[in-house]
A and B are shown apart, each in its own frame.
Chain A
Amino acid sequence: MEFIKDFSVIFFATCRDVTPIVLLIAVFQLLVLRQKIPHLKRVVIGGVYVVLGLALFLAGLEKALFPLGKIMATQLSDPAFIYGTADKILTHADWTAYGWIYLFAAMIGFATTIAEPSLIAVAYKANEVSAGTISTWGLRITVAIGVAFGISLGTFRIVSGTPLYLYILVGYLIVIVQTIFAPKSIVALAYDSGGVTTSTVTVPLVAALGLGLASTVPGRNPALDGFGLIAFASLFPIIAVMGYAQLMEWKTKRRKK
């Protein structure tokens, strides 16, 4: 019974989120374009599937993954777990003691990105548009590796307390240099893959990890240091996707010689 109540709350919230989009499309179809939508019945059924599917997906995440992921993030960042003793008074963080955190960050970043519905959608489109040259799984795995590296580095930043903008600045410089040399056809898709990685699945888990770390690492302020992980997760996939395209181009060139 309780589940049905929870599910209806999520279902209505999803409907509310979709309402502006439905209104916008309806207004444009009826008032501006004034023509029939092709295969209207199919599209409407598809729309219902999307809303129902998303609501089920979110309900499942709330029930299974988020509580578990958040508990794990807190347990792993607990000083008692990291330093082995609970009663030692810590004045500064030793960044070498946080190995499990970096590994957890990388693995959870990779795993949540693989399950991210927006990325599946973009990979599907990219595969269709490139006539199969860009494989769906190739793109998704490359992006996931980028996110894994980004979040892992992001947790290192929180532990070490180094300023966020320095990392972002260096990341931007790498992106700019890569843009000059990367194959032109991949650039737009690479930029896009930065934005799609962080949504329904990744954000809540990663935010919990960041805030958990910032509130347990000595000398960190959750308000200042807890944020920024998502920025890492949107920057590194760009580098990964362009890097992968460059690697492929280089391999093809070498084979031709």
Chain B
Amino acid sequence: MIVAAILKKLKNACTDLLPIVLVIAFFQIIVIRQPLPQIGEVLFGTLLIVLGLSLFIQGLEMGLFPIGEAMAQALARKGSLFWLLIFSFSLGFSTTVAEPALIAVAAKAADIAGRGALIDPSPESLKSYAFGLRMSVAFSVGLAILIGVLRILRGWPIHYLIIGGYVLVMLMTTIAPKEIIGIAYDAGGVTTSTITVPLVAALGVGLASTIRGRSPLTDGFGLIAFASLLPMIFVMGYGLLIFK
């Protein structure tokens, strides 16, 4: 039975990967008209991707989803709003603060700000700028999950919050220094990592299915949306505060 399950996962992973292989082959052969460099390495790498993706999905079903939902239900049953909110904030903050994509973006942003003479271009000041940026993004993701969980508990309609967020983003865009805008918009997309997303989704759905009167579909989703919106506002806000 385990073997059949693994074979099925491997087959699915191959299907998931097929489009990328086709696109690259098409452009390499038809458009650029050059032979593939290091074909052996590429094939070996593709094999690793297929194996990795199958294992990841198997682990998702066995470990990440159940633990996320079990914790959401246990916290909801405990009935302590305080601990639930602490958990939500810590989940957002702790998974974002060490996120490699965020570290890369923050360093890049510091570099740009330094070159644009928006901050003092000495290495220490760049480092402290990048650190501050990372902290403000991690804080904003924590806050976003907290607000999202509060929304599920109280049953607030999601669109008012999101549209309000959009209006704030636009307002901040008009006053923020233009060097920071591109990075701020991108920061929203890079904060949610591959392990955070399943956990956060399971948390939302688990909560919404435990609390009476909430539908898992309309109320359980939406946490990730907050986690990609708030960082934009915070990164622009940080730019406004720091830049001279």
Contacts and interface: CB of A to CB of B under 8 A. Distances in A.
Interface of A: 13, 16-18, 20-21, 23-25, 28-29, 32-33, 35, 37-39, 42-65, 68-69, 71-72, 75-76, 81, 100, 104, 107-108, 110-112, 114-115, 117-118, 120-122, 124-126, 129-130, 164-165, 168-169, 172, 175-176, 179, 184-185, 187-189, 191-192, 194-201, 203, 223-231, 233-234
B47 A72 contact: no
Nearest to B58: A49
> 7 shortest A-B CB distances, which residue pairs?
A46-B63, A64-B45, A49-B59, A46-B62, A53-B55, A56-B52, A57-B52
Contacts of B225: 188, 191-192, 194-195
A179 B159 contact: yes
B205 A125 contact: yes
Contacts of A68: 24, 28, 36-37, 42
B64 A50 contact: yes
Given A53-B56, A196-B197, A107 B45 contact: no
Given A65-B45, A129-B217, A192-B225, A50 B195 contact: yes
A64 B44 contact: yes
B100 A54 contact: no
B23 A192 contact: no
SS of B interface (majority): helix
A238 B61 CA distance: 26
A103 B166 CA distance: 30
A64 B37 CA distance: 10
SS of A interface (majority): helix
Contacts of B43: 64
B188 A42 contact: no
B31 A64 contact: no
Interface residues of B, number: 104
Contact of A231 (B17, B37, B94, B185): B185
B173 A234 contact: no
Contacts of A129: 205, 209, 216-217, 220
Given A129-B205, A199-B193, 9 more contacts: A20-B95, A24-B90, A43-B66, A64-B41, A69-B24, A115-B19, A196-B192, A227-B186, A230-B185
Interface of B: 16-17, 19-20, 22-24, 26-28, 31-32, 34, 36-37, 41-67, 70-71, 74-75, 78, 83, 87, 90-91, 94-95, 97-101, 112, 115-116, 158-159, 162-163, 166, 169-170, 173, 178-179, 181-183, 185-186, 188-190, 192-199, 201-202, 205, 209, 215-225, 227-228
A188 B98 contact: no
A24 B158 contact: no
Contacts of A44: 63
A255 B37 CA distance: 53
Contacts of B215: 185
Given A24-B90, A63-B41, A68-B24, A203 B189 contact: yes
21 contacts: A32-B75, A45-B62, A46-B63, A50-B59, A52-B59, A57-B52, A63-B41, A107-B23, A118-B192, A120-B57, A125-B198, A126-B221, A172-B169, A187-B158, A187-B159, A188-B219, A188-B220, A189-B217, A195-B189, A199-B192, A200-B194
B51 A56 contact: yes
